[in-house]
Amino acid sequence: MIFVSLTGCSGWQLRGIDSLDEEKLSAYIDGRRVPSLTSALRAAFIARGITVTSNSKDAKILVSILSGDFKSRVLSLDPGSGKVKELEIELSSEVVVRSKKNGLLMPRQTIRLQRDYFFDELAAEFTTMRSEIIERDLAKDWAFAVVYRAVTSLKKNNKND
């Protein structure tokens, strides 16, 4: 009984082995046009256990970020102070993902993400650099979506081989 309770609290968990875990994956990101999306995508690949290389010849996954644009729109103002109370941020981007072995994993796609934010005057994280924080958050969501799509396509193509 003591052993079960100690192992239940130790922080480890059983995990299956993925066929992609056996091979070391690497990715190359061509995102000179949109550095904020490039850094978010780099972090998302690393979080998934995929090495990001600086040379496309060394990579198994090739990502091209063709465009990326953040747009914001004020939804409401605080009637007392006149400050922004609600804000809508939209990220629109075009991306292509290829694999050296399998070819096109994700054809040229326009990905749009939209979030609405409500600002609390007392929230410390929104007192300065409000738009940078929100755009970074949206870029992070975008990056994980791209990584999951790329990895899923790669798995599907590997099963077909």
Residue ranges covered by each domain of the chain: 17-156
pLDDT of residue 22: 46
> How many residues are given for the chain?
161
Distance from C-alpha of 138 to C-alpha of 133, rounded to nearest angstrom: 9
Give, for all 161 residues of the chain, the pLDDT tens digit.
554 454 555 554 545 444 445 468 899 999 888 999 999 999 999 999 999 999 889 899 999 999 999 998 888 887 887 777 787 889 999 999 999 888 899 999 999 999 887 766 555 445 556 677 788 889 999 999 999 999 888 888 777 65
Report H helices in 9-122: 19-22, 35-47
pLDDT of residue 161: 57
Report the CATH fold assignment for 17-156.
Answer: Double Stranded RNA Binding Domain (3.30.160)
pLDDT of residue 146: 94
